[in-house]
Chains A and B, each alone.
Chain A
Amino acid sequence: DQQVKQNSPSLSVQEGRISILNCDYTNSMFDYFLWYKKYPAEGPTFLISISSIKDKNEDGRFTVFLNKSAKHLSLHIVPSQPGDSAVYFCAAIKPGAGSYQLTFGKGTKLSVIP
């Protein structure tokens, strides 16, 4: 039962253009959403997060948009750079007693072409 879905396994974008990575979720109990970036043979690195009470959060070239009614979020990277080439994971937190475990999507591999 996949509660967080990233339906595009891969995405290719030209350098300088916008990259848009999408994520859908099914569990309305999620109240925080995070994006992680992962290079091969390394652990995921936190990029940006958003609380469910907001619809947008921006940090430099990265912006996350949340549409609660559609249970959909997206990560925008502008402008895309070759160093952004990596696997991007969408993750969600459903708070429980003393634990903030992440539920991950399967990831989208972004390739930024110079």
Chain B
Amino acid sequence: DTAVSQTPKYLVTQMGNDKSIKCEQNLGHDTMYWYKQDSKKFLKIMFSYNNKELIINETVPNRFSPKSPDKAHLNLHINSLELGDSAVYFCASSQDYEGQPQHFGDGTRLSIL
């Protein structure tokens, strides 16, 4: 049983398009996250979200928006895709208290042509 699943695994699209990546967790966790791993392999937080609060990393362009239809899902919408958006995007989830490890999905590799 996959704990954190992301779809699609690969996404190839043209500059200027709008796309979404879906994430679902079946762990009953309260908090979900999106991370971006760039070409230098740095994993950086983009958003964290629970039913109380959305926290956005200030470096994330407002073309990126998380959408959570319920506690088990946190989707990532990206508008007007740019070449620099090419990266691997990881979804994660955790219990909402200190020190709890985050569980990651296998990533979505986004390539912008």
Q: Residues on A close to B: CB < 8 A?
A: 31-32, 34, 36, 41-46, 49, 51, 87, 89, 93, 95-104, 106-107
Q: Residues on B close to A: CB < 8 A?
A: 4, 31, 33, 35, 40-45, 48, 50, 52-53, 55, 57, 90, 92, 94, 96-107
Partner of B105, one of A43, A46, A101: A43
- Interface of B (DSSP majority class): loop
Residues of chain A with a CB closer than 8 A to B99's CB: 32, 49, 51, 93, 100
Partner of A106, one of B33, B40, B45, B101: B40
Partner of A104, one of B44, B55, B105: B44
Residues of chain B with a CB closer than 8 A to A31's CB: 98
In Å, the complex CA distance between A61 and B94 comes to 25
Nearest B residue to A34 by beta-carbon distance?
B101
Report whether A101 and B55 are in contact in the complex, using a CB–CB cutoff of 8 Å.
yes
Residues of chain B with a CB closer than 8 A to A99's CB: 31, 48, 50, 53, 55
